[in-house]
Structure 1
Amino acid sequence: MAELIEVTDAADPRLADYRDLRDVQLRTHLEAEHGLFLAEGEKVVRRAVEAGHTPRSFLMAPRWLEGLADVLATTTTPCYVVSEAMAEQVTGFHVHRGALASLERRPLPTLDEVVDGARTLLVLEDVVDHTNVGAIFRCGAAFGFDAVLLAPRCADPLYRRSIKVGMGAVFATPWTRLPEWYDALPSLDARGFTTVALTLAEGARPIEKAVSGLDRVALVLGSEGHGLSPRWERTAARRAVIPMREGIDSLNVAAAAAVACYVTTRR
């Protein structure tokens, strides 16, 4: 069972994994350097551990110990027990879900390992908002997509906010980063997928028609501001649009992903 350790000093060095969680740049550097990520909330912590991620430690208020007792019983990892006020002092925000865990990152699988046997993929180019990345993972999981591929500049799916918004979908969905950007879509077409880019470009077909009759589909979504790059838009096998009423030209990328996943699943 996890070792329960009461901590009363917010400056205790054992709590270093949990400091300054609102500072995105600092956390990105720290988590990459130390090979860790954080999960927040009872359900998400449970899903991370059940997915096989090794915990480094836990941080929680006393009232959350009972709810995660079965998880804590599976490990000898230290569990730092603090007051809710101290948890806020350490992390920099009100931890209203009460429980945090620091877990070890695993090496990313190769592209071939992720797409082998898959029929439906989500491919993200430069989606930089952690909330959007988490929401897209959740959409893909909800509609049974087999994997998610990220361009090199996409936000980290294991960032705390991404995991929280996605309700831990990142732990159930195979994913990796594309090894290179320039010919990423032709390489997927060569593997037997039809890449379908969501775009407002002239000549884009309604999404229902663009995915109709396809066997293996890779839905491609672009960044929040400018959408897909010209290179990816040109090299996609097909271009698709979500038809909308006049005067509304686009959706948030996560909302667009939900619609496109639903239509693709029903193809």
Structure 2
Amino acid sequence: MSEPSTVTDPADPRLADYTGLTDVELRRRREPAEGLFIAEGEKVIRRALAAGYRMRSMLLTAKWLDVMADVIAEADAPVHVVDPHLAEAVTGYHVHRGALASMERKPLPDAATLLTGARRVAVLEGLVDHTNLGAIFRSAAALGMDAVLLSPDCADPLYRRAVKVSMGAVFAVPYARLDPWPAALDTVRAAGFTLLALTPAETALDLPTL
């Protein structure tokens, strides 16, 4: 069990993982490079832990201590308690849910491994909006997709906004990068899949006719 400690200085180095969360370019460069991502909200934190991600630290406002008591009891990482104003000063936005956790990333599997035994996969190309990416992962989980494959220029599924919008579905649906693009699509074909592209064009065929 980690004993929660109160932090009163927004420049405290113990809070470094949570600084500047609104700076998308900073997070895009820093989080993958340092092997971390931020889980926001009680449900997302619990789902990340349940999916086997290791916690680096947790940042809570006082009112969430009781709600997260069982998580704290199991944690082997520091738990920092701050007031809401300090949380906003550190992260750069109002932390509505009052609970953040810095988590360690897992190595990404290769696409061929994910395709083994899979029946349906979603392939995403050039999707750079984190909100849309999170929504697609949530839909992929609801539709029973076995995996999601991303082109190299797609947004990071573990970016805070994508994780939040997906309600943790990014932890439940396996994903990998297809690189180089588009040549790596041959990996999908070699696994026995037929590639279908979605488009709103009037000349497109209805899926039931295929």
TM interval, shorter chain, is: over 0.9
8 A contact 1:3–1:77 mirrored in 2: no
How far off is 1:177 after superposition? Answer: 0.6
Aligned mates of 2:199, 2:65 — CA distance in 1: 47
Which residue type is aligned with residue 208 of structure 1? P
How far off is 1:142 after superposition? Answer: 0.9
Mean CA deviation greater in 195-204 or 79-88? 195-204
How far off is 1:27 after superposition? Answer: 1.3
Q: Which runs of 5+ in 2 are unaligned?
A: none
Q: Provide Cα deviations, 1:99-134, integer angstroms capped at 9, x if missing partner.
A: 000011111011122111110101000000000100
Paired positions, count: 210
Aligned to 1:181: 181
Alignment of 1:184-203 (within 5 A): 184-201=184-201, 203=203
* Root mean square deviation, CA, Å: 1.2
Alignment of 1:209-220 (within 5 A): 209-210=209-210
Aligned mates of 1:192, 1:203 — CA distance in 2: 26
Aligned to 2:88: 88
Aligned mates of 1:32, 1:144 — CA distance in 2: 27
Aligned to 2:21: 21
Aligned to 1:141: 141
Residue 132 of structure 2 aligns to a residue in which SS? helix
Q: Which runs of 5+ in 1 are unaligned?
A: 211-267
TM-score by length of 1: 0.76
Aligned to 2:58: 58
**Structure whose CA Rg is larger:** 1
How far off is 1:3 after superposition? Answer: 2.6
8 A contact 1:3–1:76 mirrored in 2: no
8 A contact 2:133–2:162 mirrored in 1: yes
8 A contact 1:49–1:71 mirrored in 2: no
TM-score by length of 2: 0.96
Higher relative contact order by CA 8 Å / sep ≥ 6: 1 or 2?
A: 2
Which residue type is aligned with residue 124 of structure 1? L
Aligned mates of 1:111, 1:128 — CA distance in 2: 20
- Structure 1 runs of 4+ off > 3 angstroms? 200-203
Aligned to 1:234: none
How far off is 1:47 after superposition? Answer: 0.4
How far off is 1:199 after superposition? Answer: 1.9
Q: Provide Cα deviations, 1:173-194, integer angstroms capped at 9, x if missing partner.
A: 1111113212233331221111
Which residue type is aligned with residue 63 of structure 2? R
Aligned to 1:112: 112
